[in-house]
Copies of this chain bind each other. A is one copy, B any other.
């Protein structure tokens, strides 16, 4: 009997995808941290194949093996589409991976991480490598509901990135409303760009479509793009890019993207364009402003 099959020897984690009939299982070789906060349950454990895994309310947020795929695509597509991003707001993203990617851009003077749950940031600082940029002096932390926070700003940020949990989990729902997207529009400067994680086309496609429609009612330019994130439901993730005037395919900083991609593991200047080319069944559902 393989060592891992000995009854009672191991813990297992089950990430149930929406519907509850399909999901990903992972063996827990080392349970690192488990905690109930005011908002959600935090679990951090190690898996022999994926490395350290971080989950909220039983939903996988990051693993060492693939967090870069998600964070690089969420951050660099808007950052290289903007001509000169100086002031950036990240809503959610308490693990720090998106912040790390944003702070790779030398022109950034200020990056605010607005995370509702301070305990997530604390756990990340203690247990996750994605927190490596927390001490960068350009990073600021705000612990509150992102929808309330963004309402207080007008004409303030160049790029806003929504790195939320699922709309149906915990406090995530606040970050998927039309009112929230309108607040983001108002908080952005003239060349402002909003990018949101927008779920997947198999288990959560209803949410992708709702998100796309709501953002399209607020921003003049809206385009969906794709990337791989093996430990998220379906492994295939969608993002929505929205802007006041910038087209991300026609007008991105190609040379800067090419330069930085030398240091990156996923994103590159050719993918920046290719990621906007979607399969028919997705393209046909996300009509309108595409």
- Which size class do A's interface residues fall under? 35 or more
A107-118 vs B, CB cutoff 8 Å, 1 = contact: the mask equals: 000000000000
Counting CB contacts under 8 A, is A48 at the interface? yes
Task: Please state if A26 and B21 are interface contacts (CB–CB under 8 Å).
Answer: yes
Tell me if A's interface is mostly helix, strand, loop or mixed: loop
A228-244 vs B, CB cutoff 8 Å, 1 = contact: the mask equals: 10100011100000000
CB distance from A236 to the nearest CB of B (A): 4
Inter-chain contacts of A203 with B (CB < 8 A): 49
Counting CB contacts under 8 A, is A87 at the interface? no
Counting CB contacts under 8 A, is A42 at the interface? no
A257-290 vs B, CB cutoff 8 Å, 1 = contact: the mask equals: 0000100111110110111011111010000000
User: With A235-B235, A277-B274, A281-B266 given, is the CB distance from A19 to B202 under 8 Å?
Assistant: no
CB distance from A49 to the nearest CB of B (A): 5
Inter-chain contacts of A20 with B (CB < 8 A): 2, 4, 27
CB distance from A201 to the nearest CB of B (A): 8
Query: In the docked arrangement, what's the CA distance between A274 and B225, Å?
Result: 12
Inter-chain contacts of A226 with B (CB < 8 A): 228
Task: Please state if B264 and A270 are interface contacts (CB–CB under 8 Å).
Answer: no
Inter-chain contacts of A283 with B (CB < 8 A): 268
Query: In the docked arrangement, what's the CA distance between A271 and B49, Å?
Result: 31
Give the residue name and chain of the B residue nearest to A29 (CB).
B21
Q: Which of B14, B21, B25, B277 contacts A49 (CB 8 A)?
A: B21
CB distance from A258 to the nearest CB of B (A): 11
CB distance from A243 to the nearest CB of B (A): 21
Counting CB contacts under 8 A, is A22 at the interface? yes
Give the residue name and chain of the B residue nearest to A279 (CB).
B266
Counting CB contacts under 8 A, is A24 at the interface? yes
Counting CB contacts under 8 A, is A40 at the interface? no
A-B interface, 6 closest residue pairs, ranked by CB to CB distance from nearest: A235-B235, A274-B277, A230-B234, A274-B274, A228-B236, A21-B27
- Given known contacts A22-B26, A266-B280, A268-B279, what 20 new A-B pairs fall within 8 Å (CB)? A17-B49, A21-B48, A21-B50, A22-B24, A22-B25, A66-B202, A226-B228, A228-B235, A228-B279, A230-B234, A235-B235, A236-B236, A261-B280, A264-B280, A266-B281, A268-B277, A268-B280, A270-B277, A273-B274, A274-B274
* 11 pairs, CB–CB < 8 Å, chain A vs chain B: A4-B21, A19-B49, A21-B47, A21-B49, A22-B24, A22-B25, A22-B26, A22-B47, A228-B234, A230-B235, A274-B275
